[in-house]
Each structure stands twice: as C-alpha cells, then as structure tokens.
A and B are shown apart, each in its own frame.
With several copies, the nearest count.
Chain A
C-alpha cells in the first residue's frame, strides 16, 4: 500500500491495518522518519518537501513490488509526505509484515535505503541564514548500493 500525501498519518492505525485479520504474520518492522531540529550543525525552522508526483507514484509501486519479490512479505506500507513540515513532524513511514522477523527487518531497511536515494523528493530547509536545498549524501548512496548484489536472507 502506497500513499503520498501532505497530511500527517497515524502509525498505530497503519500498523493495525497492515496486520489485521492475517494470523500468518509473525512480525512487523516499521520505520518512521521525522524532521530533526538540527541538520549539519544548523538549527532547522522548517523543511519543505517537493516531489515529482507522476514519477513518485510509479517508482514507489516499483520498489514495493521489488520488496515483495525479494522477501516473503504478507504486506507492505509506504507513506511519504510532501509540503511544509516542522521539527518533530513525521515525514515517512514504511512497514513490512512477514512470517519471519528477519525478512521484515531487512525489507523495511531496504525500502528506507531505496527511498533516500531513488524517490524523487527534494528537501528545502529553512535555517537562520535562509533557505538551502539538502544535498544528497554519499552514505545514503552506499547504504542503497549494499542491496544491489545481496540476496534476501529468507
């Protein structure tokens, strides 16, 4: 299940919806990304996420299918917000459900690494010195690259 939206989401309700009625699920791993008040040593007043809607939808559907193909998942939720967010606000949510905990952990980490490097979003931070576009990180590229040749464990 994929959603790209300006509104906030309810992690508890999303987790409930993902697992409800399926007693074949042994574990659910989730990750919530939040706006931090400090980035690269500077205080952040707010952040605006811009994205490319038609591309975002296609690419998220593709990566959801890829996660389902690599791991034996019973379900998968990806929610990404756009628009203006303040420190403490939720940005992104991924959750994966599987019979096995390892598959849930690995696939959730895979989705987050992928989102960081491939989801067409751009972040504009508001600092005391004005606005700045967040630069991509080499560490995120490295994190995403580790999935390229790594087979799923289960």
Chain B
C-alpha cells in the first residue's frame, strides 16, 4: 500500500511518500490511521486531529470509513486551497 502526504502532513512526515504493509485486519481508512499511530512518531503527531485531515484513495476523495486494500494509493492532506 502506497501512502502519500501533502502540505504540512508531508512536512511532519518528513517524506512525501512511503510503502507500508498493514496486517489483513486493516480494511478501512480509520483502521489504517489507528495502525499507523500505534507505530509512534511521526504518525501520532500527523494524525492527532483527524478533523483537520482529508484523504483520497486512488485519486478520489473518500471519507474515513472508506475501504482500503494492499494495492491502493492512499493520500493524506489538509483541506485543499486551490484556485
């Protein structure tokens, strides 16, 4: 599973992307975030306030209960400010 980060989440992560292999029990985004936070920093800091974070799976905006699998590209970022 590929994870990508943008804006301040990328800065907190210290990287723009990484590949992770969560256990098969991780089937939605909420479980993925919980699993990442269990690994400690930088994840605990990055995912401290979920209200300030948006996500996309395979380039589509999704909610926190969206299903996620090993072949997905998951992006985490703050609310967008285009235009």
Contact = CB atoms under 8 A, between A and B. Distances in A.
Interface string A133-151: 1111100100000000000
B77 interface: yes
Nearest to A60: B82
Nearest to B4: A52
B78 A121 contact: no
Nearest to A137: B81
A54 interface: yes
Given A52-B6, A133-B7, A133-B8, A122 B80 contact: yes
Contacts of B83: 33, 80, 91-92, 101, 112, 115-116, 119, 121, 140
Interface string B1-17: 00010111010000000
Band of interface residues on B: 10 to 19
A58 interface: yes
A128 B82 CA distance: 23
B75 interface: yes
A50 B75 CA distance: 14
A135 to B, nearest CB: 7
A50 B7 contact: yes
Interface residues of A, number: 30
B6 A117 contact: no
A88 B10 CA distance: 28
Contacts of A11: none
A123 interface: yes
Contacts of B77: 52, 120, 122
B78 A55 contact: no
Contacts of A123: 81
A59 interface: yes
Given A121-B82, A133-B78, A135-B79, A54 B8 contact: no
A121 B81 contact: yes
Nearest to A94: B83
A97 B81 CA distance: 21
Interface of B: 4, 6-8, 10, 56, 59-61, 75, 77-83
Q: Which 7 pairs, one residue from A and one from B, show the smallest C-beta to C-beta distance?
A: A119-B82, A136-B79, A121-B82, A122-B7, A115-B83, A116-B83, A55-B59
